[in-house]
Amino acid sequence: MTMPPNTSKKPVNPRPEPDVVRYTATARPWRRDDAADRAARRHSPSVVSVALGAMGTTDEAGASAMAGAAGAATMTSSDDVRGMPANPSRVGHDDGPGGTATSATAGYSSPTPASGVGAVPGRTLPPVEVPMVRPRTPKPRSGWQSVAYRVTGGRWNPGPGERERRQREREAQIATQLRGKHVTAFFCLKGGISKTSTTAATSIALSDLRPDPVFAIDANPDAGDLAERLVGEKLSGIAALARDIDDVDSLEALSRYTATRGRLTVLPGEPNPMLGDSLRADDFDAVVQVVQRYHSFVQVDCGTGVTHPLMEGVLRYADTVVIPAAWSVTGAKRAAETIDWLRDHGFAHLADTCIVVLTAKDIVSGAVDKDAVLDHLSRAADVIVVPADPHVADGALLDWESLQPATREAYLDIAAAITRRFDAHR
């Protein structure tokens, strides 16, 4: 028996379109694009305009500067699925009743560029600087801070103390780069007040801490002994160099007239007073010009005779004057007289920036009003006191380590004061 065909049709429900399909590669939800979404995006503010509005920037130049950020930001919105199918496994298959084969880009709109982006070259906003490395605390070299650092094996670093920080700042000042040339003259109207010792010790302090070599000239025509204080020998140099100046055309040729102590080079004075007295300003001009071909930082130990012809050449080249004097009432008066002499003889620029160094020969009497002495020298830019030190007073070869700590500190202060005057008169 044949059963009649069933003419009643069971209603077929179309496969519902899922609102959200999972992209299996990243397990991230993607929303299917439709016409309503595309229209809403076209009429909504762009990422660029929102960002510029928050920054208070509305011009096209600012929009152009934000274009790169906008490109990255839009990839996090629903627009980043344009050009991708809702389900990669369904590409090229029937997409529902009445549907047709789909391609990877079918049914998806292209992003609408923000208004003005790329139209006009815009200004570049400054980059945001983010420190990538924490600043390191310097290792302490002295004081209880250094002890704590060593005891804990570096696990606790309290950093340098106040005194050590000042020392480091002074060392950095002494090492200041010199642009051009600089001549320092150590000069006073009266001798016998540690002028040569001050020149020698300050030159050592400079040469120990500076990146460039230091050159010292003994320009005392009366048998100067700068070389004895620095290298322990009584040599002849400046008069012979002035005599042979036309033959000195290289650093090697110059070295035949000089002596060295580490990174310090010294041109000795003339031990014969008759020859020294014959030197003139033109001789010093020729000598310093040859020296400055190879050395930019020169210290000059001067004589006491301000009327000597050699002094005219020294002061003509000087950029800074250091006035050594005794730490006494008489010494302060001599220093003040030297300042007045400089001002009265056309060297006011040197008087205004001079450095007065008061060296104590022994314990200063309690009857001396130290404040009154310093007030008397208030016209000087700097006044530095060197304490009494037997190693300075003995007049022998100067050994830096044999100086008392306070004496070394004073000479380092002089060196720092000189370097603060770099380029002051150029």
Q: What is the average per-residue pLDDT within 208-217?
A: 95
Greater model confidence, 60 or 214? 214
Which run of H or of E encompasses 219?
Answer: strand 214-219
- Please tell me the predicted confidence (pLDDT) of residue 102: 44
Tell me the per-residue pLDDT of 155-183, one tens digit each, with 9 for 90 and over.
Answer: 888 777 788 788 889 999 999 999 999 99
Domain ranges of the chain: 35-81+112-121, 137-174, 178-419
- Please tell me the predicted confidence (pLDDT) of residue 416: 97
- Please tell me the predicted confidence (pLDDT) of residue 276: 66
Task: Give the other-Cβ count within 10 Å of 161's Cβ.
Answer: 16
Q: What is the mean pLDDT of the chain?
A: 76
Q: Which residues of 96-133 are buried (b: 16+ CB within 10 A; e: fewer)?
A: eeeeeebeeeeebbebeebebbeeeebeeeeeeeeeee
- Please tell me the predicted confidence (pLDDT) of residue 14: 55
Determine the residue type at 262: G
Tell me the per-residue pLDDT of 380-401, one tens digit each, with 9 for 90 and over.
Answer: 789 999 999 999 988 889 999 9
Tell me the per-residue pLDDT of 81-102, one tens digit each, with 9 for 90 and over.
Answer: 444 444 444 444 444 444 444 4
Determine the residue type at 289: Q
Say how far apart CA 310 and CA 302 lie, in whole Å. 9
Is residue 1 scored above 70 in pLDDT?
no
Greater model confidence, 107 or 216? 216
**Which of the 8 DSSP states describes residue 66?**
T
Is residue 143 scored above 90 in pLDDT?
no
Tell me the per-residue pLDDT of 233-259, one tens digit each, with 9 for 90 and over.
Answer: 877 789 899 999 999 999 999 999 999
Q: What is the average per-residue pLDDT within 208-230?
A: 91
Phi, psi of 33 (to 5 degrees): -80, 145
Q: What is the average per-residue pLDDT within 250-275?
A: 89
- Please tell me the predicted confidence (pLDDT) of residue 261: 94
Contact by Cβ (8 Å): 257, 267: yes
- Please tell me the predicted confidence (pLDDT) of residue 23: 46
**Angle between helix 309-317 and 281-291 (nearest 10):** 40
Residue 260: pLDDT band by 50, 70, 90 thresholds?
very high
Q: Return the minimum-mean-pLDDT range out of 238-247, 263-272, 297-306, 375-384.
A: 375-384
Task: Give the other-Cβ count within 10 Å of 322's Cβ.
Answer: 26
- Please tell me the predicted confidence (pLDDT) of residue 165: 84
Say how far apart CA 396 and CA 179 lie, in whole Å. 35
Residue 329: pLDDT band by 50, 70, 90 thresholds?
confident
Cα-Cα-Cα-Cα dihedral sign, residues 53, 55, 59, 61: negative
Say how far apart CA 224 and CA 167 lie, in whole Å. 33
- Please tell me the predicted confidence (pLDDT) of residue 70: 41
Model pTM score:
0.65
- Please tell me the predicted confidence (pLDDT) of residue 40: 53
Is residue 135 scored above 50 in pLDDT?
yes
Q: Return the minimum-mean-pLDDT range out of 162-171, 206-215, 266-275.
A: 266-275
Lookup result for tokens 């014969």: 272
Determine the residue type at 172: A
Is residue 223 scored above 90 in pLDDT?
no
Cα-Cα-Cα-Cα dihedral sign, residues 312, 316, 317, 318: positive
**Which of the 8 DSSP states describes residue 189?**
S
Is residue 218 scored above 70 in pLDDT?
yes
Q: What is the average per-residue pLDDT within 354-369?
A: 78
CATH no., domain 178-419: 3.40.50.300
Determine the residue type at 252: E
Which run of H or of E encompasses 137?
Answer: none
